């Protein structure tokens, strides 16, 4: 099937570019509340499923053993901007397990956020692995290993015991088959598994409600979701969409972006999970799409819904500050 146009980018009176995609909104039983495009398609969730990947850290007792609060747990499920506070907290997490930056296997990169990159360029010769947007997740991985007596060396490999735990959690939460045939290597070197978009939506509904999960897993899932909602800055950073969405409605919206135009979200009050992908992998479109679908689902709260609609239909300015067009969601 051809996915529908879900976002238009306008310039003057014309549509300049178009983004197609698919959206699934499901409850924990898999009942669909909203669907657009091919929601059966297998999608790499990339970083949008970091909350699921953080389950072993909490379930194993490692988070408690190392006295992790909301900030540390939020960072373990984050794609942070590499701000100094993010890198420092990742280092502190590693330190609690007697480990350090040398144990991270995620690689290093300069921040994707221009203001942060400018700051880094002025204060560092080169970025280290703590600056990697995944360093909090990887610090959590190292801590999960150490607490369980597993040697963290090689923890990013498909055959490492930690990745087996993550794979089991991913399969259990989403109900999808995850193995080598749907496996790719993610930007931070760990395996990523393509799962049907509707299974991902249902999985996030289960993360919030605990339905269908073991009591231990249900508690861990809700703790991760709650920690992210309590500390949205540590899930992304200054000016980022995930942070803005969660700050808009404290405790009522969980939202997490992933590379290549993926977004997952949860409405805990309604027990709904949301998973979406922009077909072409563009972040600006995924952000407009998630804001638009949240605005619909939260229509009962007029003020909140209006703020979400502003994010789903935002103005484009040029270098002189002139209004030149819009990025607007056009959901069917």
Residue 18 CB, shortest distance to its own copies, in Å, is 5
Residue 263 CB, shortest distance to its own copies, in Å, is 14
List residues binding its own copies (CB under 8 A): 2, 9, 11-14, 16-20, 42, 44, 105-110, 114, 117-118, 121-122, 132, 181-189, 192, 194, 260-261, 278-282, 285, 318-322, 324-325
Tell me whether residue 62 or residue 292 sits nearer to its own copies (CB atom).
Answer: 292
Question: Can you give the length of the chain in residues?
Answer: 332
Tell me whether residue 98 or residue 184 sits nearer to its own copies (CB atom).
Answer: 184
Beta bridge partners of 9: 17, 327
Kindly report the three-state secondary structure assignment for every residue of 215-249: HHHHHHHHHHHHHHHHCHHHCCCCCCHHHHHHHHC
Tell me whether residue 131 or residue 143 sits nearer to its own copies (CB atom).
Answer: 131
Residue 216 CB, shortest distance to its own copies, in Å, is 31
Write the CB contacts of 74 (distance below 8 Å, at least 6 apart in sequence): 136, 227, 228, 230, 231, 232, 234, 235
Tell me whether residue 34 or residue 112 sits nearer to its own copies (CB atom).
Answer: 112
The first and second tokens of residue 117, run together, are: 């990159």
Residue 151 CB, shortest distance to its own copies, in Å, is 19
Using CA atoms, how far apart are residues 128 and 86, in angstroms rounded to an integer? 13
Tell me whether residue 211 or residue 280 sits nearer to its own copies (CB atom).
Answer: 280
Tell me whether residue 152 or residue 232 sits nearer to its own copies (CB atom).
Answer: 152
Contact 202/26 with Cβ under 8 angstroms?
yes
Write the CB contacts of 220 (distance below 8 Å, at least 6 apart in sequence): 55, 58, 59
Residue 260 CB, shortest distance to its own copies, in Å, is 5
DSSP-based three-state secondary structure for 126: coil
Tell me whether residue 108 or residue 230 sits nearer to its own copies (CB atom).
Answer: 108
Tell me whether residue 273 or residue 325 sits nearer to its own copies (CB atom).
Answer: 325
Write the CB contacts of 294 (distance below 8 Å, at least 6 apart in sequence): 245, 253, 255, 265, 267, 274, 308
Name the strand (E) or helix (H) holding 141. Answer: helix 135-147
Residue 15 CB, shortest distance to its own copies, in Å, is 10
Residue 316 CB, shortest distance to its own copies, in Å, is 9
Tally of CA atoms within 13 A in the half-sphere of 191 that contains its CB: 24
Residue 204 CB, shortest distance to its own copies, in Å, is 20
DSSP-based three-state secondary structure for 263: strand
């Amino acid at each position: 099937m051809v996915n529908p146009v879900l976002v238009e980018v306008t310039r003057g009176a014309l549509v300049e570019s178009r983004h197609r995609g698919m959206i699934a909104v499901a409850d924990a039983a898999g009942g669909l509340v909203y669907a657009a495009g091919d929601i059966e398609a297998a999608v790499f969730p990339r970083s949008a499923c970091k909350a699921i990947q953080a389950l072993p850290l909490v379930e194993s007792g490692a988070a408690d053993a190392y006295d992790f609060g909301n900030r540390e747990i939020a960072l373990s499920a984050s794609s942070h901007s590499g701000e100094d506070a993010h890198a420092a907290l990742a280092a502190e997490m590693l330190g609690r397990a007697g480990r350090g930056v040398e144990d991270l296997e995620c690689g290093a990169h300069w921040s994707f956020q221009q203001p942060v990159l400018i700051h880094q360029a002025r204060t560092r010769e080169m970025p280290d692995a703590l600056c990697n947007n995944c360093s909090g997740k990887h610090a959590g991985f190292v801590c999960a290993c150490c607490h369980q007596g597993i040697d963290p060396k090689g923890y990013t490999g498909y055959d490492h015991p930690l990745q087996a735990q993550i794979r089991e959690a991913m399969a259990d939460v989403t109900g999808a088959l995850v193995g080598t045939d749907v496996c790719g290597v993610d930007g931070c070197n760990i395996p990523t598994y393509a799962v049907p978009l509707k299974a991902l939506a249902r999985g996030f509904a289960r993360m919030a409600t605990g339905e269908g999960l073991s009591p231990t897993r249900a508690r861990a899932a809700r703790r991760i979701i709650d920690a992210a909602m309590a500390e949205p800055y540590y899930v992304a950073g200054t000016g980022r969409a995930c942070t803005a969405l969660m700050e808009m409605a404290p405790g009522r919206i969980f939202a997490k972006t992933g590379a290549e135009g993926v977004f997952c979200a949860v409405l805990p009050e309604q027990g709904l999970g949301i998973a979406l992908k922009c077909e072409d992998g563009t972040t600006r479109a995924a952000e407009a799409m998630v804001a638009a679908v949240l605005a619909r689902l939260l229509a009962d709260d007029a003020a909140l819904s209006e703020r979400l609609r502003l994010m789903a239909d935002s103005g484009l300015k040029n270098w002189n500050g002139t209004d030149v067009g819009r990025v607007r969601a056009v959901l069917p």
